[in-house]
Amino acid sequence: MAFVEIQNLRMEYRQPDGKPLTILNIPEFRMEPSEQLAMRGPSGSGKTTLLNIISGILLPSAGSVRFDGKDLTQLNEADRDIFRGQRIGFVFQTSNLLQGFTAIENVILGSLFAGDPNEEPSSVRARAHALLEKTGLAERSHHRPRTLSAGEQQRVAIARALMNKPRLILADEPTGSLDEKNGQEALALIQNLAAASSAAVLIVTHDPAVMAEFPKVVNLKELNQRL
């Protein structure tokens, strides 16, 4: 059984006239443990929707989504939230940091989604600090987002995504709001930190420079057999 396995997935929305609009129609998609994969496709092709389905944020209209041996479509919303918090790290195009919290506090907030109330606060804080060290932001850990550059904010967001030692990192155009240098640094961080913890990576992008950094690139258009 694959680490991530999608079968006969369909995602439909109702249009104002009541007719269904098929966004995704994917017969099969697989990922293996520790695999690093880029998925390309233009804006509006369903890339973000697919990430949200794989993570359990959205349920598909039909089909199965198995992750780590469990079919997410058979879990209720609360169980999907816990499952996602314990196994998946999400990196978005923008950092989505909370402005009222420091960098380390934003990283620590990521631990709240793991559903482990028994972990000692000192252990949580030490793990967050270690991640900020790996991203080169140890000396900026007590700075609030507004005092950090866009590249630094995205590095904090990457640390937050790794806070719960996820088995899968999903990245939605994570370099899209960064200049070339900061984008390259953010991408390298995701890949290197994921490899160090044996986590798989699925990044969606339309940037050829990002695709060039991955050993395998999948074309969503070829997977997605829209009706």
Angle at 140 between CA 136 and CA 143, to 5 degrees: 145
Query: Reduced to 3 states, what is the DSSP secondary structure of residue 60?
Result: coil
State how far the Cα of 108 lies from the Cα of 110, in Å rounded to an integer: 5
CA distances from 32 to 27, 53, 68, 191, 193 (A): 17, 17, 10, 15, 18
pLDDT tens per residue across all 227 residues of the chain: 689 999 999 999 988 888 889 999 999 999 999 999 999 988 888 999 999 999 999 999 999 999 988 999 999 999 999 899 999 999 998 899 999 999 999 999 888 876 566 778 888 999 999 999 999 999 999 999 999 999 999 999 999 999 999 999 999 999 988 999 999 999 999 999 999 999 999 999 989 999 999 999 999 999 998 75
Tokens of 215: 């050993």
State how far the Cα of 27 lies from the Cα of 7, in Å rounded to an integer: 5
State how far the Cα of 58 lies from the Cα of 101, in Å rounded to an integer: 28
Q: Which helix (H) or strand (E) holds 151?
A: helix 150-161
Q: Domain 4-223: which topology? A: Rossmann fold (3.40.50)
The helices-and-strands tally (H runs, E runs) of the chain is: 8, 9
- Greatest alpha-carbon span in the chain: 55
Tokens of 182: 């900061």
Domain ranges of the chain: 4-223
Overall pTM > 0.85: yes
Cβ 159 vs Cβ 124: under 8 Å: no
